Amino acid sequence: MPEDHFGEEVAAHYDDPSDERFQPAAIEPVIDLLAELAGDGAALELGIGTGRIALPLAERGVEVHGIDLSSAMVARLRAKRGGEEIPVVIGDFATARAEGTFSLAYLVFNTIQNLTTQDEQVACFENVAAHLEPGGQFVIEVGVPNLRRLPPGETVRAFALTEAHVGFDEFDVARQGLISHHYELLDGAWQPHSVPFRYVWPSELDLMARIAGMTLVGRWSGWRREPFTSESTSHVSVWRKG
Ligand SMILES: C[S@@+](CC[C@H](N)C(=O)[O-])C[C@H]1O[C@@H](n2cnc3c(N)ncnc32)[C@H](O)[C@@H]1O
């Protein structure tokens, strides 16, 4: 089982209404696209967490199930209105099996990168394919690796510098790895927190999908189907099974 980086301390501060990702303006387009892709079928969220996306999607009328490694994150989901009704398997989304079949599976907020080897990321695609009905679709939202911003000879790049949060990514280009280091001011004390990731290229995800029997049907730079270009810093991609 992979290491759980979303234990009680992270879960307690995960939901942050001041963060734009938690605001209705950011969430509504996500729900619009996911609900459209799910159609009349059920949806499976890999890394369901505290239900930031799953709960509004369920409120939209979609039957949502989830898989997550972190009991602490899922406890937050359970404490929210409607959270008790969502079936969640505690386990690794590269291998864990949720009951039933799905018209849609989705993995948002860069979470494919929490799987730190290529083998695990491929296994995740294969696991998704095993859950999808024929014609079912898999959506990933993830950043484009930002190596263009890493000058030759450098390994570290800052991504946050505020009075309460200092964050920097440490790249290991040979291994396609990065560690995100956070220092957050919580209750007057700086708390360090580091999480390892494996960054992954859009074309590499397409090959993983092909290994798992899926084909790319859409790639955009955002949830409103904005064009994906050479300057895009993240993407929303959709693969179809069969
Ligand atoms: C960044 S949070 C995203 C939560 C939620 N999807 C959202 O958009 O707010 C990542 C979540 O994925 C879970 N996670 C990370 N790696 C996992 C794995 N290998 N298997 C299952 N869950 C995992 C974490 O426990 C955490 O709840």
Distance 48 CA to ligand 1 centre (A): 6
Name the stretches of the chain with pLDDT < 50: none
What pLDDT is stored for residue 1 in this prediction? 85
Report which DSSP code applies to 49: T
> Residue 167: CA atoms inside 13 Å, Cβ hemisphere, count?
13
With CA atoms as reference, report the closest residue to 184 among 158, 159, 163, 156. Answer: 163
Structure tokens at 32: 């619009």
CB 124 within 8 A of CB 130: no
Structure tokens at 5: 């980086």
Q: Whose CA is nearest to atom 11 of ligand 1?
A: 47
With CA atoms as reference, report the closest residue to 34 among 231, 228, 233, 218. Answer: 218
What pLDDT is stored for residue 186 in this prediction? 86
If DSSP codes are grouped into helix, strand and coil, which group holds residue 64? strand
pLDDT digits (tens, 9 = 90+) for 110-134: 999 999 999 999 999 999 999 999 9
Q: Which atom of ligand 1 is closest in space to residue 109's alpha carbon? A: 8
| Protein residues whose CB sits closer than 6 Å to any atom of ligand 1 | 2, 6, 47-49, 52-53, 67-70, 73, 92-94, 108-109, 111, 114-115
Strands 102-107 and 43-46: parallel
With CA atoms as reference, report the closest residue to 93 among 56, 61, 73, 66. Answer: 66
Q: In whole angstroms, give the CA distance from residue 101 to residue 105.
A: 10
Residues in a beta bridge with 161: 166
Strands 64-68 and 177-186: unpaired
**In this structure, what is the dihedral angle of CA atoms 12, 13, 16, 22, given to the nearest 10 degrees?**
-70
What pLDDT is stored for residue 238 in this prediction? 99
What backbone torsions phi and psi does residue 214 show, to the nearest 5 degrees? -125, 155
Structure tokens at 53: 């996306």
Residues 6+ apart with CB under 8 A from 96: 67, 89, 90, 127
As a whole number of Å, the CA-based R_g of the chain is: 17
Q: Which atom of ligand 1 is closest in space to residue 2's alpha carbon? A: 19
Q: At CA 225, angle to CA 19 and CA 34, rounded to 5?
A: 70
Distance 47 CA to ligand 1 centre (A): 3
What pLDDT is stored for residue 11 in this prediction? 96
Distance 140 CA to ligand 1 centre (A): 13
Q: In whole angstroms, give the CA distance from residue 137 to residue 35.
A: 12
Q: In whole angstroms, give the CA distance from residue 169 to residue 154.
A: 11
What pLDDT is stored for residue 23 in this prediction? 97
The total number of residues shown for the chain amounts to 242
